[in-house]
Amino acid sequence: MPEGDTVWLASKRMHDALAGRVLTRAELRVPRHATADLTGRAVTEVLARGKHMLTRLDGGLTLHTHFRMDGTWHLQRPGGRWRGGPAHQVRALLANAEWEAVGYRLHDVKLLPTAAEDTVVGHLGPDVLGPDWDPAEVARRIAADPDREVGEVLLDQRVLAGVGNLYKGETLFLTGLSPWTPVGRVPDVPKVVATAYRLMRANRDHPEQSTTGSLRRDETHWVYGRAGRPCRRCGTRIRVGEQGPPDKAEYARVIYWCPRCQPGPTPETVGARH
Ligand SMILES: [Zn+2]
């Protein structure tokens, strides 16, 4: 599940493989940029902004990409067979003498002036894993609209950038909140913010996404992906539903929760789809 920590780690690996090196081959397999020639430019930096990736090139160009639901960059040595999926799913290729980065199922592939990056990421709130992380500001933004449901506001990338369905659900379990709780009734908003940060920071440097501290199969999450199974704390069956308006740009806004450990409004009481 590409959440902020996945994009952060992918960006770091891309940076390590590409930064400071000249592109010997570069293709953008999207209609808008099919003829762009980036060969001969050096990559200067690859960085994550929330769930967005920015690949900066010399000459003041930035390649913006987004994973959305199933995008990925595969790094491999040149000359090998590409293994990330069928060739028609390749959206970008960036290669130097030592590495090939093959981007599969990428979305929002856009080449733009580095000086104009704000047009693609300027709307984002503080990035959970970024240098601009500001928990007090995020708590303020969350509390700004007391009627919004906490499970919905945590996914709002304008409030904080990087949280997806996994960290949303696990954060709400660990703070004992029904996802449908209006933020005005959340007793400790800074604790919610701190929990989301702690979970994502703990998983930033490795591909596994564990919120429980265990890396054993089937033990990595409290509620996420566990519908119908017993809560690890109380044994109640974990429920699954959808919350908030459908977001075509990303993916279904799925929510898992324990009705006993997370008391408060339910889909039945708020009339949500479930
Ligand atoms: Zn429970």
- Give pLDDT tens digits for 147-175: 999 999 999 999 999 999 999 999 999 99
Asked about 98 being catalytic, the answer comes back as no
Annotated catalytic residue within 152, 226, 253, 267:
253
Question: Is residue 232 annotated as a catalytic residue, yes or no?
Answer: no
**Angle at alpha carbon of residue 176, lines to 174 and 178, rounded to 5°:** 120
Calculate how far, in angstroms, residue 173's C-alpha sits from the geometric centre of ligand 1.
8
For residue 191, report the distance from its CA to the centre of ligand 1, in Å: 19
At 134, give phi and psi (nearest 5°): -145, 85
13 is catalytic: no
The answer to whether residue 233 is catalytic is no
Contacts (Cβ under 8 Å, ≥6 apart) of 56: 43, 44, 45, 46, 47, 62, 114
Closest CA to 223 of 268, 177, 264: 177
What does pLDDT average to in each consecutive run of 10 residues of the chain (274 residues)?
92 98 97 94 97 97 94 93 92 97 96 98 97 97 96 96 96 98 98 98 94 94 97 98 72 89 93 57
Q: To 10 degrees, the CA torsion angle through 176, 179, 182, 186? A: 20
3-state class (DSSP) for residue 10: helix
pLDDT value, residue 205: 94
Looking at residue 274, what is its pLDDT?
45
Q: Which of 49, 51, 56, 239 is catalytic?
A: 51
pLDDT of 89-111, one tens digit each? 999 999 999 999 999 999 999 99
